[in-house]
Structure 1
Amino acid sequence: MAVADPSHPPVGRFITFEGGEGAGKSTQVKRLAERLRRSGLTVVVTREPGGSAGAEVVRHVILSGAAEALGPEAEAMLFAAARADHVDETIRPALEAGQWVISDRFADSTRVYQGVTGRVPAALIDELERVALDGVAPDLTILLDLPAEVGLKRAAVRRGSADADRFEKEDVAMHAARRDAFLAIARSEPRRFAVVDASHDPDMVAEDVWHAVSARLGLR
């Protein structure tokens, strides 16, 4: 088992999970957090949109579809507002306390969902990101990758009789474009990203995730 080094003071690390609908992000976030805790680390698990009191209010507005009529630029601004609160209230304090933070989605999702497929200008996305993050950036981003049609089927099974949310309801072509966009970002930032094949069973995916985290972030 990998363990934290007791001879050094705790150093906070920030890990984000990205990927399309149904990729298994929530499952893998939970599994990784449990394994890191068994290694003696203090772990904060969070999500986007959401992760703080103010951001959770915005989450309901976005995922309900109430903001869709305002257009992708306004939606990107709402995400940025939620993210700023999330960073200030949850992520930064935990990192400064030497804790590890794992977030189910972060800024890359805005780059893809609103930037690429929503066609919000890159300059606006970059400026919103600069203001919202205020210097906070992931140490490692795990991209759980699988074909869009597989992810959508998984998402449908997961929600059962509940209605699809704002993003799940879109067609497979849109989700395929988002997969391509995530992979393009990963190729452009190989030092930050680890791409994991999410089409395997959850146990195998969890092992691949653990290998990436332990290798990249110096656990032993």
Structure 2
Amino acid sequence: MPSAGRPRAFDTEAVLEAAMLLFWEQGYEATSLAQLRAATGLSSASLYGAFGSKEGLFKQVVEHYVKGPGSVTDVIEDETVSPREAVNNLLHRSIDMQADSSHPTGCLIALSGTMRAPGDEHAGVCATVAAQRQADRVRIRACVERGITAGELYADVDADTVTTMIHSFLLGLSTQLRDGVAATTLHSAVDALLPNWRPDRSAPPEPNRL
């Protein structure tokens, strides 16, 4: 009878947390195996044995991030509040999370795996973060559609346009914060954006109204 495999002698969650901080700060390509070994305390053999490859580790890191700091975006699905409030919570809470000094600034999904050299070597990495961004777009669009139904937006508004505006704002927070823009300024920008969700129906439609 074959013997049972040896249990892992490390804390997977701790390893993913350490690797997450590196990928978050430096991006996928700039993070070396030597840095990952130093941060996690694992040998190359252990890393490859547990995760298959650097890319395999990154994919699990993304899952770890989405369940942890990245879960702040889940508020967009909260149907116990108005669609406008859900967007308000999404943007304000994302700013707070991304500006938190206890971890790297910005969003791992927006920053860590966007660029790659020509060829297919890192295509899986780009696809991993692109899939998460697409999932966020789908959730934001559902909230926009709910806003149209609730009368917070004009019935003939283009849902894809409003979705793109909100998602672009969300993704742009990372570069703004990395460039030193104050969180207070970004919060004010959100407050300037959201009044568009409550059109004055007594006034004639504006060309660029939402």
- Could you say whether these structures have the same fold, taking a TM-score greater than 0.5 normalized by the shorter chain as the test? no
Q: Bigger radius of gyration, 1 or 2?
A: 2
Q: TM-score, normalised by structure 2?
A: 0.31
Larger relative helix fraction: 2
| Bigger relative contact order, structure 1 or 2 (CA pairs below 8 A, ≥6 apart) | 1
Larger relative strand fraction: 1
Q: TM-score, normalised by structure 1?
A: 0.30
